[in-house]
């Protein structure tokens, strides 16, 4: 079991619905939080006692700056939650270059850069006897690539593959990498697509249910959360 009391956790995408739910649960477990997203107002509206850093993760320099500010504020880092994400819809042959760049910048490159920037403090956390972790949210499309979401599916599949390989690399260092792959969740993200319009979707998962499952996995030491690990919305 991982105790979150007094641990310092960076939550990326805390201004989003799911990221905000995860942040609230982590705070309730006693974690010291660093919250980041593009919209400072939405981060402040969470009402959590946390260090708030507005950042644009499409900026290659953002990762180093975020980790530096987290360490300046708390002196340590014990976990990263990668809840930032963007989506796009449309045929693979029609997606624009700008959309492709944004999908991979936020969904893939930002988590990669964050871990690279955080490796020293996460290693120090493990050496101190804590249980550092990195959480990625690749989602169900990394398991089942979806037509008219090919570029988005590819970005999330890349994230899942990176997380799996990185987890193997970091196991001996005592750093756990956990990938979560919930199905469609009612966060409103589909209404903010970078490009295209969402197809008609069945009712999605409750973000509060998804967040509880993710935080429970962090605490219990799990390393993988496939789509089957999440409760069907009809059952709630």
Q: Please tell me the predicted confidence (pLDDT) of residue 232.
A: 52
Instruction: Give the pair of three-digit tokens for residue 137.
Output: 């949210």
pLDDT for position 41: 95
* Average pLDDT of the residues of the chain: 95
How far apart (Å, rounded) are the C-alpha atoms in residues 132 and 173?
Answer: 10
pLDDT > 80? residue 55 = yes
Query: Which residue bears the tokens 């493990």?
Result: 126
Helix (H), strand (E) at residue 224: strand 224-225
Cβ–Cβ under 8 Å, residues 132 and 170: no
Sign of CA dihedral 176, 157, 185, 144: negative
User: pLDDT (tens digit, 9 = 90+) per residue, 119-159?
Assistant: 999 999 999 999 999 999 999 999 999 999 999 999 999 99
User: How far is residue 80's CA from residue 165's CA, in Å, rounded to a whole number?
Assistant: 17
Place of tokens 């690279």: 116
| The predicted structure's pLDDT at residue 161 | 98
CATH 3.40.50.720 fits 8-235, yes or no: yes
The pLDDT tens digits for 184-230 are 999 999 999 999 999 888 899 999 999 999 999 999 999 999 999 99
Cα–Cα distance for residue pair 224/168, rounded to 1 Å: 12
- Band (pLDDT 50/70/90 cuts) for residue 1 is low
Asked if residue 236 has pLDDT above 80, the reply is no
Higher pLDDT, 164 or 200: 164
Per-residue pLDDT, 109: 98
Report, as an integer, the average pLDDT of 13-27. Answer: 97
Query: What is the distance between the alpha carbons of residues 223 and 124, in angstroms, rounded to a whole number?
Result: 20
Residue 199 confidence (pLDDT): 85
Give the pLDDT score at 235: 41
Collect all residues with Cβ–Cβ distance below 8 Å to 217 and sequence separation of at least 6.
178, 180, 225, 229
User: Which phi and psi angles does 143 have, rounded to 5°?
Assistant: -90, -40
pTM for this prediction:
0.95
Q: How confident is the model at residue 173 (pLDDT cuts 50, 70, 90)?
A: very high
What sign results for the dihedral spanned by CA atoms 2, 4, 9, 15?
positive
List, for residues 60-87, the tens digit of each pLDDT value. 999 999 999 999 999 999 999 999 999 9
Q: How many CB atoms lie within 10 A of CB 114?
A: 23
Residue written as token pair 């805390």: 14
Closest among 166, 72, 75, 179 to 115, alpha carbons compared: 166
């Amino acid at each position: 079991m991982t105790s979150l009391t007094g641990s310092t956790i960076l939550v990326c995408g805390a201004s989003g619905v799911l990221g905000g739910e995860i942040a609230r649960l982590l705070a309730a477990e006693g974690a010291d939080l660093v919250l980041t997203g593009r919209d400072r107002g939405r981060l402040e509206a969470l009402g959590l006692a946390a260090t708030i850093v507005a950042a644009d993760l499409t900026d290659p320099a953002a990762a180093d700056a975020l980790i530096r500010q987290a360490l300046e504020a708390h002196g340590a880092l014990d976990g990263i939650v990668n809840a930032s994400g963007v989506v796009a819809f449309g045929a693979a042959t029609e997606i624009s270059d700008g959309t492709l760049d944004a999908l991979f910048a936020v969904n893939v490159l930002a988590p990669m850069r964050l871990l690279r920037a955080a490796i020293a403090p996460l290693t120090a956390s493990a050496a101190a006897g804590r249980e550092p972790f990195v959480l990625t949210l690749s989602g169900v499309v990394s398991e089942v690539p979806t037509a008219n979401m090919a570029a988005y599916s590819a970005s999330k599949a890349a994230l899942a593959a990176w997380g799996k390989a990185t987890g193997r690399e970091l196991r001996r260092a005592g750093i756990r990498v956990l990938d979560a792959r919930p199905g469609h969740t009612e966060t409103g993200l589909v209404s903010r697509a970078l490009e295209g319009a969402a197809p008609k979707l069945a009712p999605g998962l409750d973000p509060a249910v998804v967040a509880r499952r993710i935080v429970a996995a962090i605490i219990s030491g799990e390393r993988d959360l496939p789509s089957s690990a999440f409760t069907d919305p009809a059952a709630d």
